[in-house]
Every structure is written in C-alpha cells, then in structure tokens.
Structure 1
Amino acid sequence: MARTSSSTFDFPRLRRQAGILAGASLLLALLLISYTFGVKNHFFARLFSAFFVFFWLLAVTFLGVVPFVNWAARSWFGKEWVSDSFTKTSSRRSSASTSPSSARTPTRTASRSSQKRHP
C-alpha cells in the first residue's frame, strides 16, 4: 500500500523536535552524571542510560501527552470551550486585580504580655 502525498503528518518537524529533545536530554544527562559521579567509573555507560531515561521521559511528554491533551480538548469540548475558558479566566483575573484590597484587622485583641503565666 503506497503512501499518499497528501499526508498531514509533518516528518521534518518531528525530526527537529526529536533533535531538540535529544540535545536537551544529553545536556541534562551530562550535567547530572558529571555532578553526581564525576568522570571516573563507567562514565559513558551511566551517561547513555541517563540520556535514554531523560529522552524517553521528555519524548513521551512533549510528543505524546501534550499533543493528545490538546487534541482531546479541541475535539471533545470544541474550539468554543477552549476560547471561552481562556476569556473567562483572564477577565476574572483582571477584575480581581483592580478591586481595592481590604485592610487587615488584627486577630488577637490582647497582647501576649498581658496574659497570665502559669508555672
């Protein structure tokens, strides 16, 4: 079965994102392993395993979970729901920030020095 040219999947973009994640994973792994163990005993084996773990976690999160949540919110609730919830929260925050703040009143009416001290 031949693949059509009208595919909506963008392979160059996916490769670029995977490259960015691989670079960030290598940097995080290098920093973690060199800080924790130094460059002595089994440095490259530890670096490879740490790189693999970081890359796997970042790739699953940013290439799988985040796009799925965006797709689910868009298709299950609709575009109107996403735009309405954003405008409601932004309008609530803006009106709350402009309201005058209430003055704080002391909660304790008597000072501690006037209380009776028990032995």
Structure 2
Amino acid sequence: MARTFTSTINYPRLRRQVGILAGVSLLLALLLIGYTFGVGNHFFGRLFSAFFIFFWLLAVTFLGIVPFVNWAARSWFGKEWAADSLPKTAIRRSSASTSPSSARTPTRTASRSSQKRHP
C-alpha cells in the first residue's frame, strides 16, 4: 500500500509568523548592539550575529516548543482536559452604593500643627 503524505502546514501563515519573528529579532539586535557597542567598529558583523541568535531563539520557542506543548496537551490529556481546566464562575461586581460600610473615614480629626507639643 502506498501512503500519500498530506501536508497540514499553512504556509502563508507560517511565512507571516517567520516575518514577524525576523522583524522582532532585527529590532532586538539593533537595540542591543546599538546600546552596547554603538555604531562603531564591526557593527554589521555584530548585528548579523545578534540577529541570528535572536531569530533562532524566538523561532525555536514560538514555532517549535509552544506548538509541541499544545499538541501534547491536546493529544495526551484530551480536549476535555483543556476545556475543564478553568472553573467557570460568574464574576460579581459590587457597586459602591450597595455597601456603605466600605467607605473610608478619616482616622485623625485634627491636623498635626494644632496639637500641643509636650516637652
């Protein structure tokens, strides 16, 4: 039996994500190299090295590790686990008019300058 491999990768989305990662990496590299060394000697060599390191760190994290953890949690624990992990409780908002006791009252009625000074 011959199996055909069907690709489930969305290439336009992947290209957009890689472009965003490359832009963020270039910006981080420019900021780091500009702040640390300035625009002096070996600027472009340092910029390329820093860009390469930032790009691979971000790409491995956001295109490799995060999708793998999502896939592993979904396939190993099931979809019900992710849906039931957070308790669904209604958020009650209290208004200031319903609880008059919560209003703050001043603790000192006289100012410090009017107090007597004891020797």
Q: State whether TM-score is above 0.5.
A: yes
Q: Aligned-pair RMSD on alpha carbons?
A: 2.0
Q: Structure 1 CA distance, aligned partners of 2:10 and 2:79?
A: 23
Q: State the shift of 1:9 in Å.
A: 1.2
Match of 2:11 in 1: 11
Partners in 1 of 2:53 and 2:7 — Cα distance? 31
Cα drift, residue 18 of structure 1:
0.3
Name segments (4+ residues, structure 1) moved above 3 Å: none
Equivalent-residue separation in structure 2 for 1:47 and 1:37 (angstroms): 10
Inter-partner Cα distance in structure 2 for 1:85 and 1:67 = 19
2:75 maps to 75
- Deviations along 1:25-62, one digit per CA (max 9) or x if unpaired, are 00000000000000001000000000000000000000
Deviation at 1:83, TM superposition (A): 0.7
Structure 1, unaligned runs of 5 or more: 99-119
CA distance in 1, matches of 2:43, 2:57: 21
Identity %: 75
Q: How many residues align?
A: 91
Partner of 2:26: 26
In the superposition, the TM-score normalised over structure 1's length comes to 0.69
